[in-house]
Amino acid sequence: MNDNSQYQFDTLAIRAGQERSQFGEHSEALYLTSSFVFQNAAQAAALFAGEIEGYTYSRFTNPTVTLFQDRLAVLEGAEACIATASGMSAILATALALLQSGDHVVAARGIFGASQALFGTIMPKFGVTTTFVPGCDPESFRKALQPNTKLVFIETPSNPLTEVHDMAALADMAHAVGALLVVDNCFCTPALQRPLEFGADLVIHSATKHLDGQGRVMGGAVCGAKAPVEEVFKFMRTAGPSLSPFNAWVLLKGLETLNLRMQAHSANALELARRLEKHPAIERVFYPGLPSHPQHALAQRQQSAGGAIVSFEMKQGRDAAWRVVDNCKLLSITSNLGDVKTTITHPATTTHGRVAPEARAEAGITEGLVRIAVGLEAIDDIEADLQRGLSSC
């Protein structure tokens, strides 16, 4: 597997990076150890100095975690990858590793609520300011750039309105002022979209979501060029938001079926979105695979499929949205996503509940909005479960 270029995505997702031990194990080995024993003091010194490759302490070096990092890097087309304890720790590690007091960030207003809180309330404590840009118009991002802008941060598609950003245009703008474009690729994964191919510098993952695929463990990752990823690694090594070996092993199992799942998720989601568009109680459906989506053409250029997330706005507001949620018997009422089980949530009071009402309004997250993370159950059963609540609206 030294020449990855000769293999296709599904093969790489199953086999890339694996090196068997002397036991010849078929499945990836799980190294549950806190530390590693050295042959002598000289070897220990060389390992800690970075003069030779090897493992010292599982907070920052572990063979199972390394394999996950190497495999995800191959799938994203990245030079390097560093794994972290969660998606939010990946974003935090990137910000604290690459930014300093006096720096400026431009971020899309429509990003995940915790990401908004990180850039809007936590990073200012360290002297880093952020301008949040509503919508997807690249010109709005251009106007927000400042001489001290160091990062442009987006999700594409975004959570929960599935806004699609023009990554190539934003990369050119960011690079023109010496900034990096950082893309949260949680919704698509490299199975559907590879942001680095469109000029992005770093790709962020909440591996907790689709990379795992079954709601089992937490994890995060940062992929990109060696230089910025190395800076993130230095922060992770010192601060310790590291991925556990067991979680890395579970995530490796998730990668094996990633493409199959993402294609199936997307097919289910597209069919559900088409059916929901016809319902009289629904004002609007948000899904990149629909021709009615404002960035549908861009999504078709950047993504190979629409992904699993379908959001819709109820005409009667929060009361109707909550009736839809509360009447579900099959769908899981939870804010997590990326699972084979379909989940449903009310973003204004869950994922974006900590976001100020005016900021939610600016992002287009209304009280009538419902988000579905479409799983792999039979589509007729998913629709029937939603119809219980929809029929009462």
pLDDT tens string 183-199: 999 999 999 999 999 99
Per-residue pLDDT averaged across 96-107, rounded? 98
- In this predicted structure, the answer to whether residue 247 has a pLDDT above a threshold of 90 is yes
Residue 392: predicted pLDDT: 87
DSSP label of 99: -
Longest Cα separation, the chain: 73
Which segments within 236-367 are labelled E, that is strand?
Answer: 282-286, 309-314, 332-333, 343-345
- CB neighbour class for 4 (10 Å; exposed up to 12, middle 13-18, buried from 19): middle
**Tens-place pLDDT, residues 108-128:** 999 999 999 999 999 999 999
Residue 76: predicted pLDDT: 98
Residue 23: predicted pLDDT: 84
- Give the closest residue to 313 by CA, choosing from 274, 371, 353, 268: 371
State the Cα–Cα distance between residues 279 and 287, nearest whole angstrom: 15
Per-residue pLDDT averaged across 54-71, rounded? 97
Beta-strand relationship, 149-155 and 180-184? parallel
Pull the structure tokens for residue 4.
Answer: 């990855």
pTM (2 decimals)? 0.96
**Tens-place pLDDT, residues 256-314:** 999 999 999 999 999 999 999 999 999 999 999 999 999 999 999 999 999 999 999 99
Q: How confident is the model at residue 382 (pLDDT cuts 50, 70, 90)?
A: very high
- Give the closest residue to 352 by CA, choosing from 147, 173, 90, 120: 120
- In this predicted structure, the answer to whether residue 341 has a pLDDT above a threshold of 90 is yes
- Give the closest residue to 150 by CA, choosing from 176, 123, 178, 113: 178
Chain-centroid distance of CA 380 in Å reads 28
**Mean of all residue pLDDT scores within the chain:** 96
Q: How confident is the model at residue 5 (pLDDT cuts 50, 70, 90)?
A: confident
Which residues are registered as beta bridge partners of 220? 84, 206
- In this predicted structure, the answer to whether residue 14 has a pLDDT above a threshold of 80 is yes
Percent helix, strand, coil in the chain, to 5, is: 45, 15, 40
Rg (CA), the chain: 21
- In this predicted structure, the answer to whether residue 210 has a pLDDT above a threshold of 80 is yes
Which residues are registered as beta bridge partners of 284? 313
Residue 1: predicted pLDDT: 57
Residue 2: predicted pLDDT: 62
Residue 22: predicted pLDDT: 79
Per-residue pLDDT averaged across 326-344, rounded? 96
Which residues are registered as beta bridge partners of 130? 105
Q: How confident is the model at residue 21 (pLDDT cuts 50, 70, 90)?
A: confident
Tell me the CA distances in angstroms from 137 to 113, 167, 298, one per residue in order: 21, 11, 12
- In this predicted structure, the answer to whether residue 153 has a pLDDT above a threshold of 70 is yes
State the Cα–Cα distance between residues 344 and 39, nearest whole angstrom: 53
H or E element: which one contains 197? none
Domains and CATH numbers, the chain: 7-256 (3.40.640.10), 258-390 (3.90.1150.10)
Instruction: Give the ranges where 61-198 is alpha helix by DSSP (H).
Output: 63-76, 87-98, 113-117, 138-144, 167-176, 189-192
